[in-house]
A and B are shown apart, each in its own frame.
Chain A
Amino acid sequence: MSEGDGAAVIANGDDAPRPLRIVGSAIADRVYTWVLTAFALCIPALLLLLVIALGLAGWPAFRRFGFAFLTSSTWNPVAGIYGAAPAIYGTVVTSIIALIVATPLGVGVALFLSDLAPRRVRQPVAFLVDLLAAIPSVVYGLWGIFVLLPFLRETLMPFLRDTLGLGGTVFFSGPAYGPSMLAAGLILAVMVLPYISAISREVLLAVPRSQREAALALGATRWEMIRGAVIPYAKSGIIGGIILGLGRALGETMAVTMLIGNRHEISASLLAPGYTMASLIANEFAEASSDLHLSALMAVGLTLFVITMIVNGIARWLVWQVGRTGSGRP
């Protein structure tokens, strides 16, 4: 449009500076576009570089041990044998514990905030839950060591094992030291709770009023409305929020490292210590003695990276689905 104006000015021939300015602004426009495009391309490029660097650095370990790197349980830097299975197992198990605990809590809080709570308490409660996400990981770890572990050791673990009699099952057998996959899973639950509840709350609030009114007008009680009209509509978005929480749980490092006991062992018992990929890297990176050791840690990093990317991809896709159809998936 401004070029059209410029042409008119040139035709008049009585206003020299304006065509110049227009040419200048066209150049500025182009420069601006280029700079922004370059910035935008930086991010995928960075991601690609990261994968390549991790891949190259981890390659010796992958070549040396092959698929056994992912399935073997032996991690022995002295003998130069590396198998990451316990760390992968611990990562998955602690994340699952976190989701089992945090999902009902997070979705429950979200439902309370979107549909049940009196208007006055909604904002403060939402704020408090969001605040959980702002607490540094290391603080969670400290709290875990001084509060959660003693509680687990003296109260919860004996209760689960002896009082409830779950000790008979493999999942709750063995001594209760405190540092364990259960401890790590519980602290992860608190840490992912704000993500699950914030995203669930958002998708629940995005459920159109017309859907709620449709259910109410048919004689639904509030609970029937929530169950039959609100949750189905928001379902895939809530699942996306849960998976996003899973993505967080998989990569969380500091608090887990402080609570999981850091042992290379696959144990069915949740009371037993274990390891996660993230805490393995954090613990051993500084003292990696050989090139192969370093390479093995890089390979663990790549594995964690790939898993997290896939999980996040799925989560984004699910959340996006809700916004796109505007109606959840039938």
Chain B
Amino acid sequence: MSAASAGPQRSQVLATPKAAVGQTHPGTITADDFSFWYGKVQALHKVSLLIPPRSVTALVGPSGCGKSTFLRSINRLNDVIPGVRTDGLLLLDNTDIYASRVDVVALRQRVGMVFQRWNPFPKSIYDNVAYGPRINGTRDGATLDEIVEQSLRRAALWDEAKDRLRASALTLSGGQQQRLCIARALANNPEVLLLDEPASALDPIATQRVEELLYELKAELTIVIVTHNLQQAARVSNHAAFFYLGHLVEAGITEQLFTSPREQRTEAYLTGRFG
């Protein structure tokens, strides 16, 4: 039933892992017939998708179609929910994310995540950004200072925050707090950055800043973003994947998917006939 299994793009979307992984650009995510259950409820049905590195891939689709579930499978954040089960393959580079010997903590340091609702810790700006490196074992003050500065710069927050690093993160505006959360994720120096509707609660200007940020970050990272805003998906993403009722209906280059979708359901969604 997986729609990606049809059509000429199959070979591109679903290559064998070894062939798919570019040796020089780590950070490729490959799903191969990946299914996911919350207890008895199946939320993902045999999803096969290749997410290339150094680009932005947007996951779109109506509410409840499994976008967040897929995203949170990549860093195994769903593990904390009792009764979840997976089937099929989900690979980061050549590693099976769900293999029993995978160190989840190490995985989550390679795969950063930013949530819909910004969630800084009630600590100082500095301590927020330094949280990841610290639990990672970095104790040296000068090293931490440097990581914090670099991460804040990459998240385009340095100029606004540099004079108040010791102030509580909660004194920042919403848009700044969201960029702080991006900086916090970047401090671990991840290869992959997952964003679940990162701008849906932000005003247009703050949204634009986050989008610009993604544009810069994709030079070094694999970025996967869930968004309900199709204009936003069109603006920021190189690739797009359309989910519907737990199935991956169609995936491809964003422009092609948006202008000439192959599947009727995709077209219906894009033209606003449902969802």
Contact = CB atoms under 8 A, between A and B. Distances in A.
B105 A210 contact: no
B121 A211 contact: yes
B115 interface: yes
A218 B122 contact: no
Interface string B153-187: 00000000000000011100000000001001100
B168 A219 contact: no
If over half of A's interface residues share one DSSP class (helix, strand or loop), that class is named, otherwise mixed; here it is helix
A278 B170 CA distance: 45
Contacts of A220: 105, 135
Contacts of B123: 232, 330
Closest 10 CB pairs of A and B: A330-B168, A219-B109, A210-B119, A217-B113, A218-B132, A219-B108, A330-B122, A327-B122, A214-B119, A219-B105
B188 interface: yes
Interface stretch (B74-82, B142-150, B249-257, B258-266): B74-82
Interface residues of B, number: 29
Given A216-B77, A218-B109, A219-B105, A224 B119 contact: no
Contacts of A228: 121, 131, 135
Q: How large is the interface on A (under 10, 10 to 19, 20 to 34, 35 or more residues)?
A: 20 to 34
Contacts of B124: 330
Given A327-B170, A330-B169, A214 B121 contact: yes
Given A224-B135, A330-B124, A211 B119 contact: yes
A140 interface: no
A119 interface: yes
Given A218-B135, A219-B108, A219-B109, A232 B115 contact: no
B82 A119 contact: yes
21 contacts: A208-B119, A210-B117, A211-B121, A212-B80, A214-B120, A214-B121, A214-B184, A217-B112, A218-B108, A219-B136, A221-B135, A224-B135, A228-B121, A228-B135, A232-B121, A232-B123, A233-B121, A325-B122, A327-B170, A329-B122, A330-B169
A212 B132 CA distance: 14
Contacts of B136: 219
B122 A217 contact: no
A117 to B, nearest CB: 12
A132 interface: no
A3 interface: no
Interface in B66-88: 75, 77, 80, 82
A9 interface: no
Nearest to B108: A219
B106 interface: yes
B121 A217 contact: no
Given A213-B77, A330-B168, A232 B82 contact: no
Contact of A218 (B80, B131, B168, B169): B131
A169 B184 CA distance: 50
Contacts of A216: 77, 80, 108
A105 interface: no
A213 to B, nearest CB: 6
Contacts of B108: 216-219
Nearest to A213: B77
Nearest to B119: A210
Contacts of B168: 330
Given A210-B119, A228-B121, 15 more contacts: A119-B82, A211-B119, A211-B121, A212-B80, A213-B77, A214-B121, A217-B108, A218-B109, A218-B135, A218-B188, A228-B131, A325-B122, A327-B170, A328-B122, A329-B122
A219 B108 CA distance: 5
A142 B189 CA distance: 62
A215 interface: yes
A192 B192 CA distance: 49
Nearest to B80: A216
A100 B120 CA distance: 32
A232 B122 contact: yes
A208 B121 CA distance: 11
Contacts of A218: 108-109, 112, 131-132, 135, 184-185, 188
B193 to A, nearest CB: 11
A229 B120 CA distance: 10
